[in-house]
Amino acid sequence: MINPPMKTSANGRALIEAYEGLILSAYDDATDRVVPAGGHVRGTLTIGYGHTSAAGLPRVYVGMAVTREEADAILSSDLAAVEADVNHHVTVPISQDVFDALVSFDFNVGALDRSSTLHLINTGNLAAGAQALMLWDHAGGRVNAGLEKRRAAERDLMLTGKWRGP
């Protein structure tokens, strides 16, 4: 556990916002299309910056819309839970940039606790931990270009303190 607990910086939040994108109406994350009333959802119903009902309140429903301010508040709430998870699982001192990259990864994948990235960082091998992020670039059994770019941005943030936008 990181002591004292860390919070996502403005730079880390910017990375998450850039890669999640902002959609103010409920959309299907499999297609990134707004779901009309009575429409079919193939993936997960999502709103704002990647918020799903699984992340907590508010529950996302077809036809739901939020303002930018509401989306920002929802993201802050969602990030608090992810920050707590990262703070709990990381057992070594890390920089703000490493923390931000881990929050972005866990926010997107939800699997920090099962990743080799976490194990490698906790054993002091930051470079290998950062490179292990690149193993998480698949969706539906195939390399996904968007995930590949996001993992590279998270890796770069960990190792250099800088990331390139999507």
Residue 107 located in a structural domain: yes
- pLDDT tens column, 1-37: 767 899 999 999 999 999 999 999 999 998 889 998 8
Mean pLDDT of 109-130: 96
Mean pLDDT of 153-160: 97
pTM reported for the whole predicted model: 0.94
Task: Report yes or no on 1 lying in a domain.
Answer: no
Report if residue 40 sits inside a domain.
yes
Residue 57 lies in a domain: yes
Q: Tokens for 42?
A: 């193939």
Instruction: Give how many domains the chain has, as a whole number.
Output: 1
Task: Assign residue 21 the CATH number of its domain.
Answer: 1.10.530.40
Note down the domain range covering 156. 10-160
Residue 114: pLDDT over 90? yes
Per annotation, catalytic residue among 17, 20, 69, 148:
20
Told to judge if 148 belongs to the known catalytic residues of this protein, a careful annotator would answer no
Q: Is residue 166 part of a domain?
A: no
Is the residue at 22 inside a domain? yes
For residue range 31-86, what is the model confidence (pLDDT) as tens digits?
889 998 888 899 999 999 999 999 999 999 999 999 999 999 999 999 999 999 99
